[in-house]
Amino acid sequence: MSSRASGVSANDLKSTWKQRRLSSAPADLSGVWRFRELLPALNDGHVVTLREGNTPLYEMPQCARIAGVPHLSAKHQGMNPTGSFKDAGMTVAASFAHHAGYRWIACASTGNTSASMAAYAARGGMRSLVLVPEGKISWSKLSQALDYGAVTCQLRTDFDGCLRLLQELVLRAPVHQLNSINPFRIEGQKTLAIELMEQMDWQLPDHIIVPGGNLGNSSAIGKALLEMRDLGLISRLPKLSVIQAEGANALVRTLREAGGKRLIGVNAETRATAIRIGNPASWKKAVRVLEATGGACEQVSEVEMAQAKAEIGAEGIGCEPASAVTLAGLKKLVKQGFVKAGESVVLILTGNLLKDPDFTIEFHRGDLFAGTPHESTMTALSTLRRPPIVLDATLDEVLRTLEQADKTAPSG
């Protein structure tokens, strides 16, 4: 990818990006295009933007205490316009698709990519085709694709099956594929890391922890870190670690059982439907990023993930299940001594709490794992659960409930 950064000093880049915060031009209001020197060149007139990026970096004091680290923050990519980190890559991929004059753009998705692509297609005046696994994506994500006007096909297969079919489709039909193997998506997603460093005043954290599904995001963050180091924007690399769900642990197995040399695919199964992926497309890039930054790759159980999600929620932040693997993974990395006392950590929260309300409500009601082997373990999480209370509409009933609740300490 050609970049416009070569020959410009690191300090000039930093001050240009800062100054653009004062501008009201659409490309400057975008937290992605604001960093356009590190993106492939495109005339501003072609930018399809929803003011993506500009996502908050939150302090997480309660979660830090729980995980046993002195300083923990979370970059919440779920605060993007369609509620997930996908928007940062999608604005770039959709802009270039628009520039190239494509009529149809298409993706296979576990839900977030499709929601994002459908929105940007609509903004750019393109049609969109979405292939999702039937019954295995959340209603919130499905409803977004429908409302944004995508032609949405629920295929009787899993994500991997949807992606395979898309590869065949693009050979037969005039549709342009926008999955994360599309290099423009990766370029856009790099800006997450650039914005993070800017928010930290270019003081590096020791660790960045990200969930791993199809592994596009870890690849993009890794690419950004290397480019920033080469441009002198940062002086060293934070360790980038990837966390997967135990039931969708292709990268973990690939590293442990094949030394990262060949992909060990799995039949993915997890309630974190966003990362229910058995054959991650970008596994080679992710292996290279882990090697380059010295990061770790871990897996967490369904219960560990559910607990971490409730803990992130109790901090007033919240995220979707796939994002919560980061906190669950951090706890493991601390116990293993990989994250050391005194080191600073940033979690990348990839999706908004509202993306998967079924998971959250089932957790708080206590029936998330009903009928599964995890059922008994759920009782250990009862202090985190806040089930809704159905009452008669009388003052007495509400007052009694308030008094009872006041006697129990909040969790966290």
Helices within 231-356 (DSSP H only): 250-258, 283-293, 302-314, 321-335
Q: Check residue 140 for interaction with ligand F0G (CB under 6 A).
A: no
The letter for the amino acid at 359 is: F
Q: Quick one: which segment of 95-103, 167-175, 216-224, 331-339 binds ligand F0G (CB under 6 A)? A: 216-224
Q: Check residue 177 for interaction with ligand F0G (CB under 6 A).
A: no
Q: Check residue 348 for interaction with ligand F0G (CB under 6 A).
A: no
**309 with 363: CB under 8 angstroms?**
yes
How many chain residues are in contact with ligand F0G, going by CB under 6 A?
Answer: 23
Beta carbon of residue 218, minimum distance to ligand F0G (angstroms, whole number): 6
Q: Check residue 84 for interaction with ligand F0G (CB under 6 A).
A: yes
Cα–Cα distance for residue pair 410/290, rounded to 1 Å: 38
Q: Check residue 238 for interaction with ligand F0G (CB under 6 A).
A: no
Q: Check residue 249 for interaction with ligand F0G (CB under 6 A).
A: no
Tokens 């908004």 belong to which residue?
352
Beta carbon of residue 266, minimum distance to ligand F0G (angstroms, whole number): 14
Query: Of the candidates 180, 279, 293, 307, which one interacts with ligand F0G according to CB under 6 A?
Result: 180
Look up residue 83 and give its two tokens: 């509620």
Cα–Cα distance for residue pair 412/180, rounded to 1 Å: 36
Query: Of the candidates 49, 110, 177, 241, which one interacts with ligand F0G according to CB under 6 A?
Result: 110
Torsion-angle region of residue 288: left (phi > 0), alpha (psi -120 to 50) or beta? alpha
Query: Which residue, 91 or 217, is less far from ligand F0G as judged by CB?
Result: 217
Q: Are strands 71-76 and 57-59 parallel, antiparallel or unpaired?
A: antiparallel
Beta carbon of residue 210, minimum distance to ligand F0G (angstroms, whole number): 7
Cα–Cα distance for residue pair 355/321, rounded to 1 Å: 9
Q: Check residue 318 for interaction with ligand F0G (CB under 6 A).
A: no
**258 with 308: CB under 8 angstroms?**
no
Query: Which residue, 307 or 326, is less far from ligand F0G as judged by CB?
Result: 326
Is 59 in a helix, a strand, or coil?
A: strand
**250 with 218: CB under 8 angstroms?**
no
Beta carbon of residue 142, minimum distance to ligand F0G (angstroms, whole number): 12
**93 with 124: CB under 8 angstroms?**
no
Q: Check residue 315 for interaction with ligand F0G (CB under 6 A).
A: no
Query: Which residue, 13 or 55, is less far from ligand F0G as judged by CB?
Result: 55
Q: Check residue 55 for interaction with ligand F0G (CB under 6 A).
A: no
Sign of the CA dihedral running 367, 114, 347, 248: positive
Query: Which residue, 30 or 217, is less far from ligand F0G as judged by CB?
Result: 217
Query: Which residue, 142 or 303, is less far from ligand F0G as judged by CB?
Result: 142
Q: Quick one: which segment of 11-19, 58-66, 104-112, 193-201 binds ligand F0G (CB under 6 A)? A: 104-112
Beta carbon of residue 90, minimum distance to ligand F0G (angstroms, whole number): 10
Q: Check residue 94 for interaction with ligand F0G (CB under 6 A).
A: no
Query: Of the candidates 81, 133, 213, 313, which one interacts with ligand F0G according to CB under 6 A?
Result: 213
Task: List CB contacts of 1: < 8 A, sequence separation 6 or more.
Answer: 39, 40, 183, 187
Cα–Cα distance for residue pair 304/319, rounded to 1 Å: 15
Per-residue contact string for residues 371-390; x = within reach of ligand F0G by CB under 6 A: --------------------
Per-residue contact string for residues 63-82; x = within reach of ligand F0G by CB under 6 A: --------------------
**54 with 198: CB under 8 angstroms?**
no
Cα–Cα distance for residue pair 109/115, rounded to 1 Å: 9
Sign of the CA dihedral running 382, 385, 387, 389: positive
| Positions that interact with ligand F0G (CB under 6 A) | 84, 86, 109-113, 180, 211-218, 274-275, 320, 322-323, 350-351
